[in-house]
Amino acid sequence: MHLIIALLAHEVSHVFSAILLNIEFTKVKITLFGFNLNADLDNVSHAKKIILFFAGPACNLCLYFGFRNTEYFKFANINLFLAYMNLIPIVPLDGGNICKTVLEFFLDTRTVSGYITMTNAFFILYFIIIIHVYKNYLYFLLVCMGLKGIVDENRYLLEKSIINRYNLLSKAEKEKNL
């Protein structure tokens, strides 16, 4: 029950920050990996994205510090664990999205996608080693998330490439007709 409340608080903090930042979101859904907020972030500033992504782990850290010296210390520790896990720099976790947003400020989309793919691949290998050595199968979930991040990142890059080519062809067609 503590885990569900902590996950819900994490996601609600994303929703509240999206509302406060005037970021439109389409839905909050429950997935295999927990809860997920769907929002269109293409026209959102880098600063707002970072605030949005950090809201969940910040909420978990606040709950940890608020309850760590009480009889709800198990709830506090779950929140610390969630903050830690969500700040791992793999997409689709909050830490990965924060890193991606910072990189997008300095680099082009293709380069950022390359870094994201390589980072996710590194952490997947790292988590597989942890699973093998320590027999801690919780990290299998992170392997799945890392793989999902690689697939999503490459799909995003492909979609963006198709849209750019379509726009170029449309522009060339319009110029040809003039």
Rounded-to-integer distance, Cα 148 and Cα 171, Å: 34
pTM of the model: 0.86
At 74, which amino acid appears?
A: K
Per-residue pLDDT at 136:
85
pLDDT digits (tens, 9 = 90+) for 51-70: 999 999 999 999 999 999 99
Question: Cis before residue 57, ω within 30 degrees of 0?
Answer: no
pLDDT digits (tens, 9 = 90+) for 114-146: 999 999 999 999 999 999 999 888 889 889 989
Per-residue pLDDT at 177:
82
- Rounded to an integer, the average pLDDT of 19-27 is 89
Confidence of residue 36 (pLDDT cuts 50, 70, 90): confident
Residue matched to tokens 């503590």: 2
DSSP-derived secondary structure letter, 138: T
Per-residue pLDDT at 27:
78
* Count of C-beta atoms within a 10 Å radius of residue 73: 12
Outline where the chain has alpha helix (H): 2-20, 46-67, 73-86, 94-106, 109-134, 139-177
Confidence of residue 33 (pLDDT cuts 50, 70, 90): low
